[in-house]
Amino acid sequence: MSLETLKSMLETHDWYYTYSDDHRYYERGKAERDEILALIETLSLQGFGADAYQLYNEMKPDEFFELV
């Protein structure tokens, strides 16, 4: 796993999955978010935490909380 993988995941993630009326979209969005957070944790353990957090914070919509 790499920062490029994280970037790709962030680009395709449905950030607004929680607003879906269809439970399947909600579950898929939640699973994607869990994968993104797990990858950030893995990258952090490999010494790329600052870069992973910065990438997440740059790509997230403005109304979402930043990771620190």
- The answer to whether residue 45 is domain-embedded is yes
- The model's pTM is 0.91
- The answer to whether residue 65 is domain-embedded is no
Q: What is the pLDDT of residue 48?
A: 97
Residue 23: CB partners within 8 Å, gap ≥ 6?
Answer: none
Q: What is the pLDDT of residue 46?
A: 96
Would you place residue 68 in the very low, low, confident or very high pLDDT band (cuts 50, 70, 90)?
Answer: confident
- The answer to whether residue 66 is domain-embedded is no
- The answer to whether residue 64 is domain-embedded is no
Please state the domain count of the chain: 1
pLDDT tens sequence across 10-40: 999 999 999 999 999 999 999 999 999 999 9
Would you place residue 1 in the very low, low, confident or very high pLDDT band (cuts 50, 70, 90)?
Answer: confident
Q: Which domain holds residue 33?
A: 3-59
DSSP designation for 67: P
- The answer to whether residue 22 is domain-embedded is yes
HSE-CB of 7 using CA atoms within 13 angstroms: 7
